[in-house]
Amino acid sequence: MKSMLSNKFIVIGGTIIVLMLLIAIFAPLLTPYEYGTVNLPNKHQPPSSEHVMGTDLYGRDVWCRIVYGARISLYVSFSAVAIAIIFGSFFGIIAGYLKGVVDIVFSRVIDIMMAFPPLLLSLILGACLGTSLQNMTIYIGVPLIPMFFRVSRGVTLNIGERTYIMAAKSIGSSRLRIMMKHILPNVLPQIFVVLSLGMGGAILAEAALGFLGLGVPQPTPSWGLIVNEGKLYMFSAPWTTGFSGAFIALTVLGFNLLGDGLRDFLDPKLKHLES
């Protein structure tokens, strides 16, 4: 734990993420206005002491919307990644341990999923499932499954041949027990690294879908939606999209740094090359 804190990527990335989580949790304390109050005469006000990040096309305070948007965006991303981890690592461990036909079938399905750019897969799933908060976690989560599948399968293949797996087999442990008790604990640290990078991907996906108009439906503010509402006024009132985009970038940066740091931390071999 101590040496983990000596990695500057982990510290910087972790700090950014903790800050964002605090903002999301304490949203009501940080916002001087209601995020949904429409005040048309007050629309498109530039940043001032009253509205630190200006107002949007309906005269709503951009800062308040971004703060509440953090809740939705982080919630959607976390749920999406959770879905991807559950399915990805479940099938990945099974494929890596049982090998043979099971592995071939699962890996082919993942190959097919990877033939779609993640955003494209999200788009058509979104177009066909319809946009709601629940559906959104599904169609952001599904394209992330291959990432977790490949990591879990790789780690499992690697340690599946280790002697202690043979030893566990020889004392009569069942396949299920070996996968749960011996393989899963070895897969989890790697999952953790990918989780961090996956979170960055999920937040970017939510933003991109919002930008394309397939995000969380009105009036719930999510970062993607705020970006979308401001994009047409990029020339006259760039602050709406400008500030919300900056928050997205900062959060993704936090997760990317944390992921990089964790990878270096768990795989010291690469460390001398990266820093």
The single residue among 260, 262, 263, 264 that binds another protein, judged by CB under 8 A, is: 260
Instruction: Report which of 23, 39, 61, 34 is spatially closest to residue 243, judged by C-alpha positions.
Output: 61
Phi-psi region of 184 (alpha: psi -120 to 50; beta: other; left: phi over 0): alpha
Residues 6+ apart with CB under 8 A from 29: none
> Taking CB under 8 A as the rule, which mask of x and - marks residues 145-184 in contact with another protein?
----------------xxxx-xxxxxxxxx--x---xx--
Q: Using the rule CB under 8 A, is 245 a contact of another protein?
A: yes
Side-chain-side CA neighbours of residue 205 (13 Å): 30
Min CB(53)–another protein separation in Å: 16
CA distance 155 to 177: 17
Write out the two tokens for 171.
Answer: 């004392």
DSSP annotation of 43 reads: T
Min CB(60)–another protein separation in Å: 20
The single residue among 66, 70, 76, 125 that binds another protein, judged by CB under 8 A, is: 125
Q: Using the rule CB under 8 A, is 226 a contact of another protein?
A: no
CA distance 55 to 230: 10
Min CB(145)–another protein separation in Å: 13
The single residue among 155, 198, 241, 258 that binds another protein, judged by CB under 8 A, is: 241
Q: Using the rule CB under 8 A, is 256 a contact of another protein?
A: yes
Instruction: Report which of 201, 183, 199 is spatially closest to residue 89, judged by C-alpha positions.
Output: 183
**Interface residues with another protein (CB under 8 A)?**
108-109, 111-113, 115-120, 123-130, 161-164, 166-174, 177, 181-182, 185-186, 200, 204, 207-208, 211-214, 227, 231, 234-235, 238, 241, 245, 248-250, 252-253, 256-257, 260, 270, 273-274
